[in-house]
């Protein structure tokens, strides 16, 4: 999965890296350094073009407005995370995700039930899919009812050690540098090996509708 996504929670930088400063502060009292706070908890978001789904009455009618049967959107995505710090064994980070699906149908005649699939996936370093699960959410319309809502949920485990920066990388990021130092003007997060280590320790939990290629293309090009 390569689509960029909207983050619903900021990427929290596990464990306090330096001092009692505020996350992101630039320290200038005894040189220049960066203080940062990371959490092993992943960012949660919806990949682009997967937050809504459009169903059509017939394949022969094409992707036109007069052929639309139902439109559903994923909203109110929420997450809770347990970072595993207190676990005596098997320290895992667990993130639960819940969301609302709001749907509207064009033909309100008769009661109807519609099942829509969705996915919950774990992404590492922005590109590598660690795991993916597919489930269904069911929408129920009463006779004459245009709109319906339903809730969906999911969860994912992440190894806390893998989501934690190595000590030497943390030291390079937070080390104070004086004006005369050779690397004083270099952003440590831009150094290739540091950037790669941060990417390896960065996980995201993504949720969205499980779309076929035609549905995904429709969302991307409409």
Q: What pLDDT score was predicted for residue 59?
A: 82
Q: Which residues of 53-83 are buried (b: 16+ CB within 10 A; e: fewer)?
A: bbbbeeeeeeeeeebbebebebeebebebeb
pTM: 0.76
Going by C-alpha positions, the residue among 157, 198, 206 that lies closest to residue 6 is 206
Going by C-alpha positions, the residue among 199, 165, 188 that lies closest to residue 33 is 188
- Per mean pLDDT, which of 63-67, 155-159, 207-211 is the most reliable? 207-211
Residues 154-172 have a mean pLDDT of: 87
Q: What pLDDT score was predicted for residue 21?
A: 40
Higher pLDDT, 215 or 6: 215
Residues 20-38 have a mean pLDDT of: 42
Residues 63-78 have a mean pLDDT of: 95
Q: What pLDDT score was predicted for residue 147?
A: 98
- Per mean pLDDT, which of 16-25, 94-103, 178-187 is the most reliable? 94-103
- Identify the bridge partners of residue 79 per DSSP, sorted by sequence position: 97
**Domain residue spans in the chain?**
5-221
Residue 114 scores a pLDDT above 60 = yes
Lowest-confidence segment of 45-54, 86-95, 152-161 by average pLDDT:
86-95
Q: What pLDDT score was predicted for residue 4?
A: 41
């Amino acid at each position: 999965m390569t689509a960029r996504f909207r983050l619903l929670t900021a990427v929290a930088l596990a464990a306090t890296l330096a001092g009692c400063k505020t996350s992101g502060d630039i320290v200038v009292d005894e040189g220049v350094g960066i203080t940062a706070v990371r959490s092993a908890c992943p960012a949660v978001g919806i990949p682009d073009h997967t937050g809504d789904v459009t169903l059509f009455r017939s394949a022969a009618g094409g992707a036109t407005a007069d052929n639309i049967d139902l439109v559903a959107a994923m909203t109110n995505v929420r997450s809770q995370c347990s970072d595993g710090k207190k676990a005596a064994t098997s320290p895992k980070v667990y993130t639960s995700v819940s969301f609302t699906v709001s749907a509207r149908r064009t033909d309100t005649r008769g009661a109807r039930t519609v099942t829509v699939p969705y996915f919950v996936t774990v992404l590492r370093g922005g590109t590598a899919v660690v795991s993916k699960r597919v489930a269904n959410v069911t929408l129920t319309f009463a006779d004459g009812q245009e709109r319906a809502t339903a809730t969906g949920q999911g969860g994912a485990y992440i190894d806390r050690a893998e989501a934690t920066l190595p000590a030497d990388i943390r030291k390079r990021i937070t080390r104070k540098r004086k004006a005369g130092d050779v690397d004083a003007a270099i952003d440590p997060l831009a150094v290739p090996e540091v950037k790669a280590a941060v990417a390896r320790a960065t996980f995201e939990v993504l949720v969205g509708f499980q779309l076929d290629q035609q549905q995904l293309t429709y969302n991307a090009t409409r």
